[in-house]
Structure 1
């Protein structure tokens, strides 16, 4: 009898599982990965729609809106929004250690508090289970009204550099911005030391020089690295392109023009029209600099 009962239980569970319907979610899931320098931020959230509702604060009749003031909001729907940092970041002057956090917001009438919460196990906003002592960091932002309208909640990264980015939170005509910064230079210097100590190739030297040129740092070191890259890997149009830029940044316009011409010759052989145009444009600038000096 026990065996029969167990079989019936398994059968009933299987029937329930088979009978479940997969249906489209009202607030579809979205995942965003954004590289920032040598680090990465991953964002996972569900995107609710406005559907004609009053979103933040109070409705016209004084009743609470969908996201009331003074109460925790999960910054999305369904599960809590998750944000993961590969490296330490600085937010509003405070260090946020690498790791995965639940992202919450407490909307107040005059400002919002954005919360990076260490406990990622709560469903939704946690409500009674939410413990402020588990916050990793809180920062204040002031939301603004915009002309652009977003029916679905939208989280994006904008104004991205090697060292920073902004998280843009937009829903309906409300927009808030959270700024992040990371010490890419420190990470990159560690990477450079490691690569130089382990049989560097011509490509290694080129990439180091290109990074220095893009950041406008250590240009005196970048030039000999490019020399090693050309010696080891032969004549390459993009090696000469960066060499020209470094020489131009150093004020050696004659050498820059010569390197740019070599880059053009090599780029033309490979039908790299964009590099031809870029070099031609810079040659005109450097020629003007020579005339004026």
Structure 2
């Protein structure tokens, strides 16, 4: 009986220690540019995805798109870590065949067109360590203007004629990136 009480006391002490350890954890608040994900097909009931993109969503907050994504400069296509895009099957961007895998998605914004860049360096913060030598593909796509302004940078996939389109939107700027299958 004494042995059982002793083991119970030890178990209780371990539980108390584990509980106090959990309560001591400090968790950060929400990020100012929360992480988001877009996938295709975008129906959660369909598990087989052709592509998905993971990115953080900066917000204008009385700033201009050019303040946050300067024209003519390589941009991480979001906030925080560089945006990554994963293809679960081979696709084509422009005339470049892209093997299934994960790539960093960089862009070079300009007024009339954006340069879309897929790059091998997937573990980077922002575009600070971007190396053009590691580009897998580049494509220039036209910019269009919408009537509705978006406060937060947004991405969504849609079905294209011969594949999928990754649509980028921020403020009134819209960019459509076609991937053929």
TM-score bin (small chain)? 0.7 to 0.9
Q: Counterpart in 2 of 1:166?
A: 165
* Alpha-carbon offset, residue 41 of structure 1: 0.1
Q: Once the 2 structures are TM-superposed, how far is the Cα of residue 39 of structure 1 from its aligned partner?
A: 5.5
What is the distance in 1 between the residues matched to 2:111 and 2:148?
A: 21
* Cα deviation, residue 171, structure 1: 0.4
Q: Which residue matches 1:48?
A: 58
2:148 is matched with 148
C-alpha offsets along residues 48-104 of structure 1, whole Å, 9 cap, x if unaligned? 111111112xxxxxxxx2211121111111111000001110112321111100000
Matched, 1:34 2:40: yes
4+ long deviations beyond 6 Å: none
> What TM-score do the two structures reach when normalised by structure 1?
0.49
What is the alpha-carbon distance in structure 1 between the residues aligned to residue 52 and residue 83 of structure 2? 11
8 Å contact 1:39–1:87 — kept in the other structure? no
Provide the residue aligned with 2:126 in structure 1. 124
Give the distance between the partners of 1:164 and 1:170, measured in 2 at CA.
Answer: 20
Aligned equivalents of 1:28, 1:66: Cα separation in 2: 16
Find the structure with the greater CA-based Rg.
1
Cα distance in 1 for residues equivalent to 2:72 and 2:39:
30
- 1:9-55 deviation digits (Å, cap 9, x = unpaired): xxxxxx9xx4644201111111222139x761011011111111111
Match of 1:137 in 2: 137
Counterpart CA distance in 2 for 1:66 and 1:154 is: 14
Is 1:25 aligned to 2:31, yes or no? yes
For residue 24 of structure 1, give the secondary structure of its aligned residue in structure 2: coil
In 1, are the aligned partners of 2:158 and 2:167 still within 8 Å (CA)?
Answer: yes
What runs of 5+ residues in structure 1 fail to find an aligned partner? 1-14, 57-64, 183-293
Please provide the CA RMSD for this pair: 2.2
SS of 1:133 mapped into structure 2: helix
CA distance in 2, matches of 1:92, 1:145: 22
Count, aligned residues:
155
- Taking structure 2 as the reference length, the TM-score comes to 0.78
TM-superposed CA distance for 1:109, in Å, is 4.0
Structure (1/2) with the larger helix percentage: 1
Alignment of 1:81-92 (within 5 A): 81-92=83-94
Distance in 1, matches of 2:150 and 2:93, equals: 26
Structure with a larger share of its residues in strand: 2
SS across alignment from 2:174: strand
C-alpha distance in structure 1 between counterparts of 2:49 and 2:100, whole Å: 10
